[in-house]
Structure 1
Amino acid sequence: MKKLCAVRAEFIQRVSDTVLNQLLDKLLQHGVISDEEMESARTKSRAEKAKDVIDSVRRKGREASSFLIAALCQLDEWLSRELSLR
């Protein structure tokens, strides 16, 4: 959770919409977020979607945060390195 908190602003600024949509799919598939949370996030701008994703996952605790980090590392190796998540 601390890692996500530390990189929150940069994540919001730099993550692409394509990666966000892939993250949402993975988070939903693994039960980290609900259908309602995913649908709500998908209706927002890229930056607002990024805020929703990182904030809702952080609130769900360490396991959810670790899953988000692992999924981001898999989907966008460059960004995860830039954010020092690897």
Structure 2
Amino acid sequence: MLRAVRAEFIQRVSDTVLNQLLDKLLERGVFSDEEMKSARTKSTADKARDVIDSVIGKGNEASSFMISAFCQLDKCVSRELSLR
């Protein structure tokens, strides 16, 4: 599911939502401290690209968690991307 919306996610997600998403991914253990710190140093588009690509690479459970967290953080964009 994430792979199908990757390009649009990268274009549309805000930096504020990405930072909140990173916090949730860290809390859940999907991301390590190092991965989070590395992502936070990048521009919004590069950060979004790193986050979604890393989560996709971590499998279905990580992807499902990211989708759920993203839907909570940005109801409008997640709805427009048809994420549930």
- TM-score class, shorter: over 0.9
Which sections of structure 2, spanning at least 5 residues, go unmatched?
Answer: none
Residue 17, structure 1, aligned to residue 15, structure 2: yes
Q: What is the rounded CA distance, in whole Å, between the counterparts of 1:85 and 1:40 in structure 2?
A: 26
| Residue of structure 1 aligned with 2:32, choices 31, 34, 40 | 34
Q: What stretches of structure 1 move > 3 A for 4+ residues in a row?
A: none
Q: Deviations over 1:20-52 (max 9, x none)?
A: 000000000000000000000000000000000
Instruction: Tell me the TM-score normalized by structure 2.
Output: 0.99
Distance 2:32 2:14 in 1: 22
Task: Report the TM-score, using the length of structure 1 for normalisation.
Answer: 0.97
Which among 56, 59, 78 is matched to residue 58 of structure 1? 56
Taking only aligned residues, the RMSD between alpha carbons, in angstroms, comes to 0.4
Identity %: 79
1:57 and 1:23 mapped to 2: Cα distance? Answer: 11
Contiguous gaps of at least 5 residues in structure 1: none
